[in-house]
Each structure stands twice: as structure tokens, then as C-alpha cells.
Chain A
Amino acid sequence: MTELLSKYLPFKYSRIRNKRKRALIMSSVAVVLLLLLVTSGFFIGTEGLAVNFDAANKAPSLAHPFGTDWLGRDMFVRTVKGLTLSFWVGLLAAFISALIALLLSLLLLISKTLDSLVTGFIDLFLGLPHIVALILISFMLGGGLKGVIIAVALTHWPRLARLLRAEIMQIKSTDYIRVSRNMGKSWIWIARHHILPHLIPQLFIGFLLMFPHAILHEASITFLGFGLSSEQPAIGIILSEAMGYLSSGMWWLAVFPGLMLLLMVAIFDNLGRNLREVFDPFKGQKG
């Protein structure tokens, strides 16, 4: 029995197991943590967000784990709500960016001119500091939550697109594509049956690794003041408000929300890297 347990319970002897298994365990832990973070945002009521001067400026305690701000709002509720918002913005942005990257890189199959246009676009976006691009787009949309989401969604595709393009380029020159072409299949058919299946791991990992970037950029740009209004619980807003209370000794206003953001970003980053190890046979079997 114990032998069986030790064989199938992956927690034991994890050092001698290969990286793939370790990566799988780490990923499941990460997924559970993320689900916990996101779903708790749904179940926590909004009463903690109400202004309550009796409970203003309280240090962290059991009733208020992250303390309260100068309006008596519970920082824990604000932080969790902010993280939930960050999560959805990140999800949407990463999804749209991955889609754009895929579609643009598939243009490579259609014609050379379109492809050089796409490369030009990639260079264009990479030649601009990311934060300036975000500011420009959200300026065009006049700020607001919509501006932030669209700006974050429209600026994360270039790196992934470049990666996918290289991949497609490689696949395109293989024999079976040529055979398929000679048999009279259209590029759309080939893209669906021969190329997309190859791209899925890259696309999925790229999508996951875009998440942390998107979340960080969302927080940065709200921190700079583009976008959300101050009643909305977003990590960037919380931190930029905390800037005004630096010298008052209310350290919990900035420390905990930022730490939670860091935690969420780190989990996503970890998940992405671990899954890459699972999907990439060359990396996974090493060690």
C-alpha cells in the first residue's frame, strides 16, 4: 500500500522525479491558488467598500486583515476586488492579443506583401516604449476602463506574433506541406489541418505568459492616472492613493495590495513557465 501511495502520490520523492511531473504539480497548485483569488472576489460583499469614518485609519487586525484607509474602507475587500478586476482585464487582454497574434502571423501563408506589412507592424510596436503606446491608445479613447482594456489588449501581441511567425515559417517549408499543396489543398485548409495543431502549444503558453504582463501594465497605467475613477477598486488606484499617505506611517495601504498583485503575477508567470516545460519535450525530460 505505501509503495503504491508513494508511486502515485507525486508529493513524495519529488526530487528524483522528472521536471515534467514537478511542473505539473506546481501548475495545479497555481491553478487552485488563482481560482481561490478570483472566486473570493465574487463571494466577498461590497459592504467593506462603504465609507465608514468610525473605522478609519485602522492598522491590520483580525476584523480588517489589511487595515482600513482614511475613509474607513476595508483594504482587504478593496484589494481582492481590485485583483478580480485585474484578472478579468488580463484575461480579456491576453485573449485578444493572442488572437491578433495568431491571425496576423497566419497572413504569412497568404502573401509575401501582407507578411512584410505584418513584420513592419511588429517593428513599429516594438520600437515604441510599451507604456507610451498604452498612453497614446488610452488617450485616443479618452481614458476610462474601456480605454485601459483596449489599450492593454491591443499592445501585447507583437512578441507572440513574431514567435508564431517564425514557427509558421519553419512549418511552411516542410515536405508534408508541399505535398499537401501539390495535392491542391487551399492555404486555409492547410492552416487548419497542418499548421494550427502545431501552433497550439506555443499559442497557449504565449497566452498564459501574456497574462502577467497584461496585469502589470493594467496596474501601471491605472497607477499613472489613466483610466479608472477613484471609487473603483483597482490595484493601481489603491497604490496611487497610498502615495498621498506615505509620511503618515500607514504602511499597510501600500504594502499588502502591492504584495497581492505581485503574488498573482508571480503565480501566472510560474504557471506559464511550468506548462512550457510540460509541453516542450526537450526541456521537460532534462534532469
Chain B
Amino acid sequence: MVKFILKKIGKLAGLLIAISLLSFILISNSPVDPVQSYIGAEIARVSPEQRGNIQEYWGLNESKPKQYLLWAKSVVQGNLGESLIYRKPVSEIIMDRFSASIALMGLAWLFSGIIGFVLGVLAGMNEGSFLDRLIKSYSFILASTPAFWLGLLLLMFFAAHLGWFPVGLASPAGSLVGEVSYADKIKHLVLPVLTLSIVGVASIALHTREKLIDVLNSEYIRFARAKGESGSKLLWRHGLRNISLPAISLHFASFGELFGGAVLTEQVFSYPGLGQAVVKAGLGGDVPLLLGVTLFSVVFIFFGNFMADLLYVIIDPRMKIKPSHD
């Protein structure tokens, strides 16, 4: 077990180094000038000497590999730099934003998992029936729905037309941090969570359906039927136990799509989460923040995949012999 975790941590370190290198190469070749995006609109009032000083101070005159090493060194020391847009340390922004995002992503993850699993089971149990076809086509349509469009529609209908929910943000506009009540927060969360959950349902429902159909066609189900088991008891004893583990671990492994969906959803609802921060960083040329969020998102996805693998190792006795399955 310890060996498994150590191996995974080693892999994460390698992945982080490779990703940081890749994203550093990408970003440092960008035509966006960091000094210009730092100074912003007042670039005309800065003399070339001052510019030179800033470049010198930031080490922009050094060679690219040296720049990378300097940056990597401070990242290892826990210093991700200072965001150019927000004028705050990047690590602070990430923590702040992530705590908003995790509410959105966590709830959506939970809901889409439960609903998707139930839909998949319902479809798989009644293969070929009207219900099955309904759920299947529903999932296929959802799989091709752009998340941001769905968010727009929900926003238009429930927030603008019916006025049930606020149009955006995570708290009422103009209120102070201390004044925001939980009811307000929940009210602001409903539509984004709904959007993200609806989009996330498709893959888990289809996967569960396939698996359940496979299981129901297997020999041991036939044997159980021959023994006289049927109905929900059969499903509970032999069906669900066999399909729940792959479904849960697939759901853990889908953190990447979850993050992507959150980026789009947060943009639509102007929800102040991590996704919105990365879009702002990309558009505004905020290099430290962009790099910081990139690294953070890699850790996030890795955590999902790690949990997926770990579940197998802990729960499934067959995996104990051969912990990694690539």
C-alpha cells in the first residue's frame, strides 16, 4: 500500500515537472509582453529605462532555461508569484477561488454521479425498452450539448424570465463578505450546479448501462436465476456490486471534464471560481496566475485518478496482486 502511494507521488512529481516545463515553454513564447500587461494602460508613461529596470528585476533578461529554473525554485519553496490582475499572491487567489469552486464542482459531481448511476441502472435493467431508449438518447443528446449554452438557457429561463434565482455571482452584488448568508450562497449555487450536473450525467449513465447489460448477460447471473433469485434481490446481490466500483472510479477519473465544465459554467454565471480566474489570466496576460492554476489543475486531476486507482486497490481483492493496470 505504502509502495503504491509512494509510486503515485513519484509519478505526480514527474508529471508536474513535465507540465510546468511544457507550459513554461508555451507561455514564454507568447507574444504577450509581461511588462506591458503588468503596467497596463499606463504603459505610455513608463520610460524605456524604467521598463528595463522592471525587466531586470524580473529576470526577463536572463536566458530561458535560467528563467525556468528561477521560477521552479520559488515554486518549490511555495511561492507561486504575484498575480498581475489581482495584485495578490497567486497561492492566496487559488485557495480563495478553489474554495468557491469546490462547492460547485463537488455538488455537481455528487449529483451527476447519483443521477447518472440511477439512470444507467434503470436503462440497463430494461434493455431495449422504451425507457432504455429514452435514457440512451437523452444521454447522447446531453453528450453533444455545449455546457455554456445549457447554462445560458437555464439562466435565461429561471433567472431572467421567472426571476427565481439571481443572474450571476456567488453572493448578492454590493454586499460585504460578512453579510452573505448561507441561503444567499445556496441560491446563487443552484443554477451553476444544475448546469454542471446535467452535463455530467451522460457519460456515467451510458457507462453504467453498458456494464449492467454485460453483467446481466453473464454466466453467474444465469446461475443465480437458475437458483431462483430474481428481481431487485438479484440486482442488488450480483448486479450493483459488480458495476458500482467501476462506475465510482470512472466518476473519479472524470475530474478533467468536471474542471472543463466548471470553467465554462463559471464563465456563464460569472461565478468567482478557479475556472473564471484561469480565463481571466489567459485573456489578461497574467502569466503567474495562469501557470499557478495550470499546476493546480494538474494536481486536481491527478488526485481524481489517484482516488480511482486507490479504490480498486482497497476494495477489489483481485487488484491486490497487480496494483497497476496499465
Contacts from A to B (Cβ < 8 Å):
120, 123-124, 126-132, 135-142, 212, 216, 219-220, 223-226, 239, 242-243, 246-247, 249, 251, 254-255, 258, 261-262, 265-266, 269-270
Contact = CB atoms under 8 A, between A and B. Distances in A.
Given A127-B301, A246-B156, A142 B263 contact: no
B290 A136 contact: yes
A225 B153 contact: no
A242 B143 CA distance: 23
B145 interface: yes
Interface string B33-52: 00000000000000000000
B12 to A, nearest CB: 9
Interface stretch (B23-31, B95-103, B219-227, B241-249): B23-31
Interface stretch (B14-22, B69-77, B83-91, B314-322): B14-22
Contacts of B260: 129-131, 220
A277 to B, nearest CB: 14
Given A132-B263, A135-B279, 4 more contacts: A128-B297, A131-B264, A136-B282, A137-B26
Contacts of A138: 282
A132 B167 contact: no
A149 B290 CA distance: 21
Contacts of A246: 152, 155-156, 159-160, 167
13 contacts: A124-B15, A128-B294, A128-B301, A136-B294, A139-B30, A139-B282, A142-B30, A239-B148, A239-B152, A261-B146, A262-B149, A265-B146, A269-B143
A136 B279 CA distance: 10
Contacts of A224: 263-264, 267, 279, 282-283
A30 to B, nearest CB: 13
A132 B15 CA distance: 15
Contacts of A135: 278-279, 282, 290
Q: Most chain-B Cβ atoms within 10 A of its Cβ — which of A128, A266, A269?
A: A128
Contact of B256 (A130, A137, A242): A130
B152 A242 contact: yes
Given A254-B156, A255-B153, A262 B148 contact: no
Interface string B266-298: 011000000000110011010000100110011
Given A136-B27, A220-B148, A254-B152, A120 B18 contact: yes
Contacts of B143: 269
A97 to B, nearest CB: 17
B149 A261 contact: yes
A222 B161 CA distance: 26
B144 A223 contact: no
A61 B256 CA distance: 42
Contacts of B18: 120, 124
Given A220-B148, A262-B141, A262-B144, A247 B160 contact: yes
Nearest to B326: A119
